[in-house]
Amino acid sequence: MLPSKRITEHVVITGIGLTASVGEGRESVWRAVRSGTSSMRRLSGLPGIPDGLLIGAPVDIELSSPDKLKSIALCELISDEAIADADLDRGAIDPARFGCAVSAHMGDVRHLYEMFGASHLNPPTVVPWTEQWLPNSACSIVANRHNLMGPRLSHSTACASGMIALQTAMRAIQDGQCDLALAGSAEAITPLFAAGFHQMKVLADHPDPQQACRPFDQDRQGFVMGEGGAMFVLERYSHALARGASIYAEIAGGRLLAMAHHVTGIDSESDALAHLITETLRASKLAPHDIGYINVHGTATAQNDVAETKAIRRAMGRAADQLSASATKSILGHLINAAGSVEMAITALAMRDGFLPPTMNLTKPDPQCDLDCIPLVGRKSELTAALKLSVAFGGTLAAFTLVRPEKYSIARQPLPLAA
């Protein structure tokens, strides 16, 4: 059997939809991230978990139906914004050439409370069976919503899921299966995940919830769970050019690797992560000194932050002293399934506007985390290229590079920083 024809043409980002706890809509979220404004608070209303026990960064959204999964509602919201932002003439696009890659999500478990006689924890509902345990429901619902008939792709890879959705969409375009694709992920806080992370002792606590998440700080305790999501329109460059689309950034390259180490632990020697960075730069035809900014995974756990710093220094060499890095989980929380896609959106917006977001609560930097982590206040910086990293349970590692679209006549114009 002959291999399918692979298209080496570049893939570009032409639309972004974004929502998080700090705002509804791309520019609202980005303004909050630029200023380091958080909305973390004590959580209440999680069945089986005492009110006020955990800190989170939830999205306040009124669901169109009480029976709709919140994560699916968020996917619908951000997919609508991404499609509108890309300014597509749907009548001129073949729906069979428009793919969809939305990462898998937690199923609806509300019926379990009823089955085990604990319906008082959650009001009785009529939950569609397709949303109870099918993890690709969001992908199907979003694709149907926008009449996308190209390849549908859905992966479950923990905290790297959003990045892998982008990776698979990009490859579907490069493989010639489609001309453009909607790709991304969303996350809602669920009692099972919250209880699990609490038992693992990886969740942060602090008298002031907005100071709880402290990546790279000596006093870090762990992360804060967040909600939200990001969706992208990815497009073959010649297709974007032909329709006069505006471009946020070009995806120069991406790679996936894994640590054969532990389901939840990270290799303290950072061999696999360092190798991933090196391979991603090689695939992107970039040198370490080309990278001006890294949006790190930055979970604010003792082990992860040190290992990630070590990997960056090993892969980047002396260039590590010249680059800047930030952990935006300190502002938005850890969006688990959607962390990679949301942080990729932040990276693209940082490139568009020439502004690097801060790492909040970094008041006592850990000497073992000795990168320039942009403490407390963001800064202006014109980026040529940026790197995004994701490190997930199960040992899954993902990385992408973005480069400025200046060589294209249809680059996105920066948003005034005062806006």
Ordered domains of the chain (ranges, CATH)? 11-242 (3.40.47.10), 253-403 (3.40.47.10)
pLDDT per residue over 208-233, tens digit each? 999 999 999 999 999 999 999 999 99
| Residue 333 structure tokens | 């929380």
- Can you say how many angstroms the Cα of residue 132 is from the centroid of all Cα atoms in its chain? 24
pTM for the whole thing?
0.92
Nearest C-alpha neighbor of 404 from the set 294, 286, 255, 252: 252
198 a catalytic residue? no
Residue 48 has a pLDDT of 81
Inter-residue contact 168 to 178 (CB < 8 Å): no
Q: How far apart are CA 67 and CA 69, in angstroms?
A: 7
- What's the one-letter identity of residue 215? P
Q: How far apart are CA 60 and CA 251, in angstroms?
A: 32
Mean pLDDT for back-to-back runs of 10 residues, the chain (419 residues):
56 97 96 97 90 96 77 95 96 96 80 59 60 81 96 87 94 96 95 88 95 97 96 96 94 84 59 94 95 96 93 96 97 95 97 97 97 98 95 82 78 62
Q: How far apart are CA 169 and CA 16, in angstroms?
A: 14
Which of 105, 155, 239, 334 is catalytic? The answer is: 334
Q: How far apart are CA 209 and CA 311, in angstroms?
A: 30
Q: How far apart are CA 366 and CA 350, in angstroms?
A: 25
Q: How far apart are CA 95 and CA 137, in angstroms?
A: 20
The CA-atom distances, in angstroms, between 183 and each of 134, 218, 306 are: 18, 36, 31
297 a catalytic residue? yes
Phi and psi dihedrals of 392, rounded to 5? -120, 155
Residue 156 has a pLDDT of 84
Residue 158 has a pLDDT of 75
Which of 213, 297, 369, 373 is catalytic? The answer is: 297
Residue 168 has a pLDDT of 95
Q: Which residues, 6 or more positions from 350, have their beta carbon under 8 angstroms from its beta carbon?
A: 293, 295, 356, 357, 383, 386
Which of 100, 139, 159, 373 is catalytic? The answer is: 159
Q: Which residues, 6 or more positions from 302, have their beta carbon under 8 angstroms from its beta carbon?
A: 220
139 a catalytic residue? no
Mark out the alpha helices in 133-177 (DSSP H runs).
137-145, 161-174
Residue 405 has a pLDDT of 83
Inter-residue contact 380 to 354 (CB < 8 Å): yes
pLDDT per residue over 152-169, tens digit each? 999 888 788 999 999 999
Residue 1 has a pLDDT of 34
Residue 418 has a pLDDT of 46
CB atoms within 10 A of CB 218: 14
